[in-house]
């Protein structure tokens, strides 16, 4: 079978070393995905975007100066939490309220990021409608930076939990996968495909509930029969149809959900990398995972239904995952209300804070990009 990875090129060594991420900006939108809400305004380099007029630039800057959550001087950086798809994520104090928040900092000088960042911002604005998505508090920009202010989720990640325990118990898997399924179904109902679902991007809050995070690779307007083409995500979690450069839809997320579920149950990936990355890709496309004997009949069947090679045969696509026997004891109304009892309450102490102020990246006067309709503040967080 012919494989297409990064337009047919072998993945460079330096790309493997940087979290072994695969990024490929889609060469075109399939079936007319609309990104019209956010219009990038640049002085040069992109003929598709007209330069920002002086009045609009002045309005954006005045808004940042007069609206407290949109003013970069009201945030004090404390430590680095991690690195998202396109920028560092920092723990910060919003000094007006003495409140801890997470701030994702993206430098505008990076190429081909604006479509992804504005998509991420739009999903964060939607997240307050679902308790299992990381919520955006504000988005704003300076001359050379784009900043996403997120709720600070203090309990670590699902990846941390799996690594600390080796593998999770059946009750833990049932709880976490139920909440994850509710969050994923909400995204899909709103035409959003995550495309990078994995334990590292699933946070645990102080009460022990899950939050899906890092929407930097989402695609939007994925309703009905609309599909996409283009390889992106994290090796080991990318589904066969994406690796084969075929058209895909929300079924891709259900594969990644299955991989995450398998990892919860076994402590390892269904297709671990034992050789080269290309060999791993070939096993994902043509091989079958091993299912340990300690898995229950219901859990084994659930995994097999999620890890179908053909997306149309995959659970979550051809039928509702909530109806699978593994979830027979779950009250889905309670699950949607965040009413299930968490099996683990995480430790939430904050350590490693810098005693000195960590500076934001310096403004680059050569950067003239301004993004209209980007500034946003959650109405409940004003002041």
Q: Is residue 382 part of a domain?
A: no
Is the per-residue pLDDT at 216 higher than 80? Answer: yes
Is the per-residue pLDDT at 22 higher than 60? Answer: no
Q: Is residue 341 part of a domain?
A: no
Give per-residue pLDDT as tens, 339-378: 999 999 998 767 667 677 899 999 988 887 788 889 999 9
Q: Name which of 93, 92, 118, 125 is nearest 40 in CA terms.
A: 118
pLDDT-above-90 percentage for the chain = 70
Q: Is residue 302 part of a domain?
A: yes
Same domain assignment for residues 188 and 211 = yes
Per-residue buried b or exposed e for 353-382, using 16+ beta carbons within 10 Å of the residue's own CB: eeeeeeebeeeeeebbbbbbebbbbbeebe
Same domain assignment for residues 72 and 126 = yes
Same domain assignment for residues 300 and 176 = yes
Q: What is the pTM of this model?
A: 0.84
pLDDT of residue 370: 81
Same domain assignment for residues 141 and 163 = no
- What whole-number distance in Å separates Cα of residue 117 and Cα of residue 113? 6
Q: Is residue 70 part of a domain?
A: yes
Q: Which of 87-91, 171-175, 183-187, 349-353 has the lowest mean pLDDT?
A: 349-353
pLDDT of residue 147: 96
- Long-range contacts: 114-118, Cβ < 8 Å, 24+? 114/38, 114/40, 114/369, 114/371, 115/25, 115/35, 115/40, 116/25, 116/85, 116/86, 116/216, 116/217, 117/86, 117/146, 117/148, 117/216, 118/35, 118/37, 118/38, 118/40, 118/371, 118/374
pLDDT of residue 35: 40
Domain containing residue 221: CATH number: 1.10.510.10
Domain containing residue 72: CATH number: 3.30.200.20
Same domain assignment for residues 149 and 242 = no
Q: What angle do CA 368, 36, 109 make, to 5 degrees?
A: 25
Same domain assignment for residues 146 and 169 = no
Same domain assignment for residues 134 and 167 = no
Same domain assignment for residues 171 and 214 = yes
Same domain assignment for residues 72 and 103 = yes
Is the per-residue pLDDT at 240 higher than 70? Answer: yes
Helix (H), strand (E), coil (C) string for 313-376: HCCCCCCCHHHCHHHCCCCHHHHHCCCCCCCCCCCCCCCCCCCCCECCCCCCCCCCCEECCCCE
* pLDDT range class, residue 381, cuts 50, 70, 90: confident
- Provide the CB-side half-sphere exposure for 294 (13 A, CA): 8
Q: Is residue 125 part of a domain?
A: yes
pLDDT of residue 106: 95
pLDDT of residue 366: 86
Q: Are strands 376-377 and 88-94 parallel, antiparallel or unpaired?
A: unpaired
- What whole-number distance in Å separates Cα of residue 284 and Cα of residue 286? 6
Q: Are strands 99-107 and 88-94 parallel, antiparallel or unpaired?
A: antiparallel
pLDDT of residue 149: 98
- Interhelix angle for 251-266 vs 158-165, to 10°? 30
Helix (H) or strand (E) holding 261: helix 251-266
- What whole-number distance in Å separates Cα of residue 375 and Cα of residue 104? 14
The answer to whether the CB of 103 falls within 8 A of the CB of 74 is no
Residue 171, number of CB atoms within 10 A of its CB:
11
Same domain assignment for residues 162 and 144 = no
Give per-residue pLDDT as tens, 262-296: 999 999 999 998 889 999 999 999 999 999 999 99
Q: Is residue 13 part of a domain?
A: no
Instruction: Please tell me what DSSP assigns to residue 219.
Output: B
Q: What residues are annotated to the active site?
A: 196
Residue 191, number of CB atoms within 10 A of its CB:
16
Q: Is residue 19 part of a domain?
A: no
Instruction: Please tell me what DSSP assigns to residue 92.
Output: E
Same domain assignment for residues 68 and 87 = yes
What is the dihedral angle through the alpha carbons of 289, 295, 296, 298, rounded to the nearest 10 degrees?
-30
- What whole-number distance in Å separates Cα of residue 26 and Cα of residue 47? 18
Strand boundaries in 152-286, DSSP class E: 202-204, 210-212
Domain count, the chain: 2
Segment 207-218 mean pLDDT: 96
Residue 220: which residues within 8 A CB-CB, separation 6 or more?
33, 34, 35, 119, 122, 123, 191, 192
Q: Is residue 85 part of a domain?
A: yes
- Interhelix angle for 170-189 vs 251-266, to 10°? 170
Same domain assignment for residues 135 and 210 = no
* 157 bridge partner residues: 203
Domain residues for the domain of 206 are 158-336
């Amino acid at each position: 079978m012919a494989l297409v990875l990064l337009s047919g090129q072998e993945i460079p060594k330096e790309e493997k070393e940087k979290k072994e991420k695969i990024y490929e900006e889609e060469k075109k939108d399939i079936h007319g995905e609309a990104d019209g809400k956010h219009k990038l305004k640049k002085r040069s380099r992109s003929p598709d975007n007209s330069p920002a007029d002086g009045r609009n630039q002045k309005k954006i800057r005045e808004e940042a100066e007069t609206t407290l959550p949109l003013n970069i001087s009201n945030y004090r950086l404390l430590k680095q939490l991690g690195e998202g798809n396109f920028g560092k994520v920092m723990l910060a104090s919003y000094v007006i309220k003495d409140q801890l928040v997470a701030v994702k900092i993206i430098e505008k000088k990076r190429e081909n990021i604006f479509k992804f960042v504005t998509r991420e911002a739009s999903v964060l604005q939607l997240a307050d409608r679902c308790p299992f998505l990381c919520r955006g508090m504000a988005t704003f920009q300076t001359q050379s930076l784009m900043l996403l202010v997120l709720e600070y989720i203090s309990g670590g990640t699902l990846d941390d939990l799996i690594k600390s325990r080796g593998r999770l118990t059946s009750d833990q898997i049932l709880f976490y996968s139920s909440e994850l399924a509710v969050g994923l179904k909400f995204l899909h109902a709103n035409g959003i495909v995550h495309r990078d679902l994995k334990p590292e991007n699933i946070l645990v809050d102080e009460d022990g509930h899950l939050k899906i995070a890092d929407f930097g690779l989402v695609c939007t307007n994925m309703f009905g029969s609309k599909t996409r083409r283009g390889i992106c995500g994290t090796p080991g979690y990318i589904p066969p149809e994406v690796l084969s450069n075929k058209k895909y839809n929300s079924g891709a997320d259900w594969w990644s959900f299955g991989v995450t579920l398998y990892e919860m149950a076994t402590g390892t990936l269904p297709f671990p990398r034992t050789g080269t990355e290309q060999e791993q890709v070939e096993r994902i496309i043509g091989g079958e995972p091993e299912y340990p004997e300690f898995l229950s009949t219901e859990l084994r069947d659930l995994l097999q239904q999620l890890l179908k090679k053909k997306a149309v045969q995959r659970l979550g696509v051809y039928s509702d995952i909530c109806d699978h026997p593994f979830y027979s004891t779950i009250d889905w109304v309670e699950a949607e209300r965040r009413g299930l009892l968490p099996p683990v309450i995480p430790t939430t102490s904050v350590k490693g804070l810098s005693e000195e102020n960590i500076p934001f990246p310096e403004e680059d006067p050569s950067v003239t990009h301004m993004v209209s309709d980007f500034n946003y503040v959650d109405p409940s967080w004003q002041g």
